């Protein structure tokens, strides 16, 4: 839930690392933003300076004038509270008693209460309620016994249980940054005359494209010209693990849009094109489909948006492969993992590849012998690394907290997977499969057309709907998971209550809420022939009770009566409908948020990557 950065540089090459720390940290703000902090070793002295407070990074930077300080090395942190309320004391970095050691941390130290008690009984004085502070005092404890900092780190790590990505500065070794990783993500950026550590790639791109993805259990230090990694006391040969990241810096910035969310909605055509092209030219889909086809039981899981993509997969697998799949919400894994066995497969959908609920589901299924397929957007993240097969979407970095482009690229990858499984199961022959798969090449065009044709109407609709306290989104078939995802987006960024239901279910209870003017958005999806009449019936039921009815539909629903606003998103068949319907729903959520003066990139109470259960 937090983001960490650390930089150390040769002052002859880079006079001060402060701007790198600030910029690098700002690109991690999506990971959490209730407080921020910096620990720097000042140029020309070995003074350790700490600036930290509640608030967003810019607020903390300007409050303490952080940019004015010259630093040879430093660490920084953006926080999303897990232990202790957001305030100055609980903001990272945390220090030892003598203010010589400063630590930033992402994750949770499970046994911090015992460690704290032990340290306090040894005379250490704590200044915060956080789990992190124990790390600073543990290091101090071992250093004071005469151990080197590296040895102290080894000893401290052997005592810590839980998840962590740590970056540490020590006043006595001004050009070194120590680090450690277990469960929480951490990368090293290898630069010219500097090296850095960070929780994620966007914070490195402006400075270096050479990255090492650290593995669980690795720790060590960086200096301006040295990277030192160890695991279980043995030196790690990292040189062959350096990967070159091709994402442009612009990919990680707003690209001229007022918000990342809007930029990311608008770049869906490109993300879809790249995902389709990537999948077509790799063996991932076929390998994964073979595993699915040969499995007795098929499960799929994910959290939030990724779970909705999982539901789309269940729809296509039923329609095309005639196979049943059991979708479950990742945090409910305890119930379902008992059904896993050697002949089962679990598909874990996670754009970040780090969501703890999804990771726990993966591990529980694995323990019971199940095979695992990951669908992720982040190469080298934990979920794909712990899976038998990884299928990657190619959406590029998603900075907006609300998932948009990663959802549709997940849908594309999962559709390809369902089609290939249908082919291996024999329900689609080779030429049918090739024809269906090729249709996915048009996802990009369909999304672009929908964005173009619906944008203006959606903007006007948002103005009308912004005063609503609540609304329904109803669909049938493929429209159901898309409705769930649309409602989630509206809730997340506009804070308007939006609830999705299968349209046929609405009369079994939800219709009780309908009173004059209550907005009900219907999704009209293919197959139009089968669904048109049923949707018409549901529209009339709502209209009869005074609802404000909106129909967002593919071509073919024009004749539906009782509709106040019809938004035609263009022609799209069963394979392509998600790309036509989803961008207008995302745009509606975005426009509602901005019409209400909310910041859609930083919705309250939410973090991009949820690494606590």
**Which range of residues in 52-60, 73-81, 222-230, 345-353 is near ligand F6R by CB under 6 A?**
345-353
Comparing CA positions, the residue from 583, 557, 550 lying closest to residue 571 is 557
Of 2, 26, 405, 489, which is the active-site residue? 2
Q: Which residue has the tokens 């209209």?
A: 543
How far is residue 530's CA from residue 326's CA, in Å, rounded to a whole number? 25
Choose one: 36-44, 245-253, 255-263, 344-352; the region binding ligand F6R (CB under 6 A). 344-352
Of the residues 16, 128, 355, 494, which one makes contact with ligand F6R according to CB under 6 A:
355
29 forms part of the interface with ligand F6R (CB under 6 A) = no
Tell which residue, 604, 587, 495, has the closest CA to residue 259.
587
On whether the CB atoms of residues 217 and 232 are closer than 8 A, the answer is: yes
The answer to whether 351 contacts ligand F6R (rule: CB under 6 A) is: yes
345 binds ligand F6R (CB under 6 A): no
Told to judge if 2 belongs to the known catalytic residues of this protein, a careful annotator would answer yes
The C-alpha angle with vertex 393 and arms to 390 and 398, in degrees rounded to 5, equals 125
Verify binding: residue 609, ligand F6R, rule CB under 6 A: yes
> Does residue 567 interact with ligand F6R by CB under 6 A?
no
SS3 label, residue 274: helix
352 near ligand F6R, rule: CB under 6 A? yes
Nearest residue (CB) to ligand F6R, 106 versus 358:
358
Of the pair 535, 589, the CB lying nearest ligand F6R is at 589
Smallest distance from ligand F6R to CB 385, Å: 14
Q: Does 303 bind ligand F6R (CB under 6 A)?
A: yes
In 3D space, the residue among 525, 556, 517, 523 whose CA is nearest the CA of residue 539 turns out to be 523
**Looking only at residues 372 through 411 of this chain, which bind ligand F6R when binding is defined by CB under 6 A?**
402-403
Of the candidates 263, 405, 602, 608, the residue annotated as catalytic is 608
DSSP assignment letter at 292: H
Rounded CA-CA distance 100/463 in Å is 55
Residue closest to ligand F6R when measured from CB atoms: 304
- Token code pair at residue 439: 């249709």
Residues 492-511 that bind ligand F6R (CB under 6 A): 492
How far apart, in whole angstroms, are the C-alpha atoms of residue 454 and residue 444?
16
Work out how close the CB of 609 gets to ligand F6R at its nearest, in angstroms, rounded to a whole number: 6
Pick 332 or 343: Cβ nearer ligand F6R: 332
Q: Which two tokens stand for residue 477?
A: 């078939």
Asked if 610 is part of the footprint of ligand F6R (rule: CB under 6 A), the reply reads yes
Q: Is 305 in the site for ligand F6R (CB under 6 A)?
A: yes
Contacts for 151 with CB less than 8 Å, ≥ 6 apart = 142
Cβ nearer to ligand F6R, comparing 113 with 612: 612
Q: What whole-number distance in Å separates Cα of residue 225 and Cα of residue 19?
A: 20
Bridge-based pairing state of the strands 3-9 and 71-79? antiparallel
Q: What does the alpha-carbon distance between residue 343 and residue 334 come to, in Å, rounded to a whole number?
A: 19
Binding flag, residue 200, ligand F6R (CB under 6 A): no
Q: Does 358 bind ligand F6R (CB under 6 A)?
A: yes
CB-wise, 186 or 547, nearer to ligand F6R?
A: 186
Structure tokens at 166: 């740590």
415 binds ligand F6R (CB under 6 A): no
Between the alpha carbon of residue 183 and those of residues 54, 162, 298, 384, 480, the distances in Å are 26, 8, 26, 13, 34
Helix, coil or strand: residue 96:
coil
If one asks whether residue 311 binds ligand F6R (CB under 6 A), the answer comes out as no
Q: Is 201 in the site for ligand F6R (CB under 6 A)?
A: no
Displacement of CA 462 from its chain's centroid (Å): 26
Contact with ligand F6R (CB under 6 A): which of 90, 199, 350, 494? 350
Instruction: Report in angstroms how near the CB of residue 309 gets to ligand F6R at its nearest.
Output: 8
Task: Just list the catalytic residues.
Answer: 2, 608
Residues that bind ligand F6R (CB under 6 A): 303-306, 350-352, 355, 358, 402-403, 488, 492, 609-610
């Amino acid at each position: 839930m937090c983001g960490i950065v650390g930089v150390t540089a040769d002052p002859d090459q880079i006079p001060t690392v402060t701007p790198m720390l600030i910029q690098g940290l700002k690109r991690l703000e999506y990971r959490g933003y209730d407080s921020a902090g910096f620990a720097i070793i000042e140029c020309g002295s070995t003074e350790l300076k700490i600036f930290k407070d509640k608030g967003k990074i810019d607020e903390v930077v300007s409050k303490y004038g952080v940019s004015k300080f010259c630093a040879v090395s430093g660490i920084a942190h953006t926080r999303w509270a897990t232990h202790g309320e957001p305030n100055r004391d609980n903001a990272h970095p945390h220090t030892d008693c003598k203010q010589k050691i400063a630590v930033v941390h992402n994750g949770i130290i499970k046994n911090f209460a015992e460690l704290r008690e032990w340290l306090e009984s040894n005379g250490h004085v704590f200044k915060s309620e956080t789990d992190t502070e124990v790390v600073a005092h543990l290091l101090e404890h071992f250093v004071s016994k005469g151990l080197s900092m590296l040895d102290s780190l080894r000893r401290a790590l052997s005592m810590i249980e839980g998840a962590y990505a740590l970056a540490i500065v020590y006043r006595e070794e001004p050009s070194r940054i120590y680090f450690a990783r277990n469960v929480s993500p951490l990368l090293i950026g290898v630069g010219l005359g500097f090296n850095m550590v960070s929780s994620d790639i966007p914070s490195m791109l402006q400075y270096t494209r050479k990255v090492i993805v650290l593995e669980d259990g690795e720790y060590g230090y960086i200096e301006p010209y040295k990277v030192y990694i160890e695991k279980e006391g043995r030196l790690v040969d990292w040189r062959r693990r350096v990967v070159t990241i091709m994402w442009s810096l612009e990919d990680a910035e707003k690209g001229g849009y007022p918000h990342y969310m809007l930029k990311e909605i608008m770049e869906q055509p490109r993300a879809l094109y790249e995902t389709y092209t990537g999948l077509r030219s790799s063996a991932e889909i076929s390998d994964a489909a073979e595993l699915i086809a040969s499995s007795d039981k098929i499960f799929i899981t994910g959290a939030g948006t990724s779970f909705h993509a999982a539901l789309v997969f269940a729809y296509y697998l039923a329609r095309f492969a005639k196979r049943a799949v059991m979708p479950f919400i990742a945090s409910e894994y305890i119930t379902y993992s008992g059904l896993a066995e050697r002949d089962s497969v679990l598909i874990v959908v996670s754009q970040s590849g780090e969501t703890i609920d999804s990771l726990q589901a993966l591990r529980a299924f694995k323990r019971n012998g199940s095979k695992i397929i990951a669908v992720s957007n982040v190469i080298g993240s934990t979920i794909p690394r712990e899976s038998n097969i990884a299928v990657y979407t190619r959406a590029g970095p998603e900075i907006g907290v609300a998932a948009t482009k990663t959802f549709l690229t997940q849908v594309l990858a999962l559709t390809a997977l369902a089609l290939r499984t249908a082919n291996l199961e024999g329900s689609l022959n080779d030429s049918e499969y090739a024809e269906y798969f090729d249709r996915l090449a048009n996802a990009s065009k369909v999304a672009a057309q929908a964005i173009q044709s619906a944008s203006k109407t959606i903007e006007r609709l948002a103005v009308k709907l912004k005063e609503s306290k609540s609304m329904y989104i109803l669909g049938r078939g493929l429209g159901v998971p898309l409705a769930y995802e649309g409602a989630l987006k509206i809730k997340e960024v506009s804070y308007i209550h939006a609830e999705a239901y299968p349209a046929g279910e609405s009369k079994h209870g939800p219709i009780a809420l309908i009173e004059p003017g209550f907005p009900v958005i219907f999704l009209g999806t293919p197959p139009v022939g089968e669904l048109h009449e049923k949707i018409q019936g549901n529209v009339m039921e709502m209209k009869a009770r005074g609802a404000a009815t909106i129909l967002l539909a593919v071509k073919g629903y024009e004749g539906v009566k009782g509709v106040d606003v019809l938004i035609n998103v263009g022609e799209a068949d069963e394979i392509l409908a998600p790309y036509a319907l989803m961008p207008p729903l995302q745009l509606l959520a975005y426009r509602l948020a901005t019409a209400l003066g909310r910041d859609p990139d930083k919705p309250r109470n939410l973090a991009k990557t949820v690494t606590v259960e």
